[in-house]
Chains A and B, each alone.
Chain A
Amino acid sequence: SQKIEQNSEALNIQEGKTATLTCNYTNYSPAYLQWYRQDPGRGPVFLLLIRENEKEKRKERLKVTFDTTLKQSLFHITASQPADSATYLCALDIEGSARQLTFGSGTQLTVLP
């Protein structure tokens, strides 16, 4: 069955450093992969989408890579700030016409001032 793992439930880094979060998947060939941010008590918010034929995507201080050979995505936040502290979820599409997503359990990032 499909399985998604986000390495490390929690990650602490110093302000100004680059945060790198990992998403691995097995038994799966997704057409695209998404990253969401979730703050406590709130719903997830979409950040970035990367397709299977794309190696890298950037948006401001965010960068996502997608390696379909390794079955892995890396999510980077450069020049991290305390305001970046949140839980970050990766999600993969499920084959089918309704564009369902299957989510990882998330990594809680804390940026220390």
Chain B
Amino acid sequence: NAGVTQTPKFRVLKTGQSMTLLCAQDMNHEYMYWYRQDPGMGLRLIHYSVGEGTTAKGEVPDGYNVSRLKKQNFLLGLESAAPSQTSVYFCAILSGNSYEQYFGPGTRLTVT
């Protein structure tokens, strides 16, 4: 997955709990993205970042916050988890010289 790692791989939360998902890249790419993937819905963009210290909302940002304090890391936070946030979360980076995205292995989150 081209040097994109995600932590953790699996997590189970109770409703109302909080957690942070970490995406780390070992390259020097500016653009990073967070997606969620649900059955039959494809990948939907949650938030993205075009560089250190910048973040922006995607298609489905409600209930999530993000931070990009260091260029290599893009964090996705859930302040108060809800069952509707049960999903598989993917981080991606943009290849520097083209438009293709490289994805991490994903985090499977279950909220009960």
Contacts and interface: CB of A to CB of B under 8 A. Distances in A.
Interface in B40-54: 40-45, 48, 50
B100 A105 contact: no
Interface residues of A, number: 24
A101 B42 contact: no
Contacts, number: 58
Contact of A43 (B42, B48, B104): B104
B42 A89 contact: yes
A70 B56 CA distance: 32
Interface centre among B31, B45, B99, by most chain A C-beta atoms within 10 angstroms, is B99
Nearest to B94: A99
B42 A97 contact: no
A99 B99 contact: yes
Contacts of B50: 97-98
Interface residues of B, number: 29
B8 to A, nearest CB: 15
A47 B62 CA distance: 31
A43 B105 contact: yes
A101 B45 contact: yes
Interface in B48-94: 48, 50, 56, 58-59, 90, 92, 94
B45 A102 contact: yes
Nearest to B104: A43
A49 B59 CA distance: 22
Given A103-B42, A105-B40, A105-B41, A93 B106 contact: no
A100 interface: yes
B43 A32 contact: no
Interface of A: 4, 9, 32, 34, 41-46, 49, 89, 91, 93, 97-106
Interface of B: 1, 4, 31, 33, 35, 40-45, 48, 50, 56, 58-59, 90, 92, 94-95, 98-106
5 residue pairs, one from A and one from B, having the closest CB atoms: A43-B103, A105-B42, A46-B100, A103-B43, A103-B42
